[in-house]
Amino acid sequence: MTEPTINLAAYLARTGYQGPLDATADTLVGLHRAHAFSIPFENLDIHLGRSIRLDAAGIEQKLVHERRGGYCFEQNGLFRLVLQQLGFDVSCLVGRNLLAGYPLRPRAHQILLVQLQGQPWLVDLGFGANSLIEPIPLVAGPEFQQGFDCYRLQAAPLLNFHLQLLINGEWQTLYGFALDEAQPSDYQMMNYFYSQSPDSPFRQQRITTRSGPGYRVSLVDYELKIRRAEGATVTTLPDEAAYHEALATHFGVELPLGAFPARPGAARLA
């Protein structure tokens, strides 16, 4: 079966990437970095009462043409299509969020594995405020500095690898994953749970995050946090108008005031 394609020129314009397009490590890193700096992670459609489409046309329309963001199934789904179109060898994996602690969440985080001249690379644009800015070689042990954050992979007994982030001087595990390949139908099931189930953490809060050169910014309900090497500033926004202004200013997401329906028990978001 022929793999679906997207409008590559429109994607490159969306991310501002102007580098080479051959299937090399330099291209992979450059594309990943440009995507991370331009397309925000966000779960807003869940709170707008809209379904999350994972087909190529739906992802392209939302993240590229409508200049929105998405969560892991959309972010890494789009990037997979781009990489495959450029001739990269890409496979899809599933991780388990371990940063959230117990009880453990289901294995339901989409990540990508890219093979380059016999070396596998971990590729992930969809782990919110702690997402990789650049892909890293799939090798346990070495530390990878990305801006003011530092990552490493560790071997794990049950899941093959843990991705860890140095937080306040201590290594924290973000997620674990094995190397068995996932299928589109797996992601459809995961996406349904996370977008529709009342037990989904993505139904509890509006979350929008993005990385930039020298900073990371996140907006979780009314809390705006900007993190830099020297520390973080946290601002509590006063009302819905300020929330929408922050969405547009920091993430390029423009939605009409009053677009979100009220949540039971959450008067501030009414």
> What phi and psi values does residue 115 have, to the nearest 5 degrees?
-100, 125
Beta strands in the chain (DSSP E): 41-42, 89-97, 107-116, 119-123, 136-137, 143-146, 149-155, 161-167, 170-177, 207-212, 215-220, 223-228, 231-236
CB 35 within 8 A of CB 111: no
Q: Enumerate the active-site residues.
A: 72, 109, 124
Q: Encode 209-224 in three state secondary structure.
A: EEEECCEEEEEECCEE
What is the rounded distance in angstroms from the CA atom of residue 156 to the CA atom of residue 108?
Answer: 18
Among 126, 116, 70, 108, smallest CA distance to 90 is for 116
In three-state secondary structure terms, 126 is: coil
If one counts every other C-beta atom within 10 angstroms of the C-beta of residue 82, the result is 22
Structure tokens at 51: 């379904």
Crossing angle between the packed helical segments 25-38 and 8-15, to the nearest 10 degrees: 60
CB 170 within 8 A of CB 155: no
For residue 178, give the amino acid letter: A
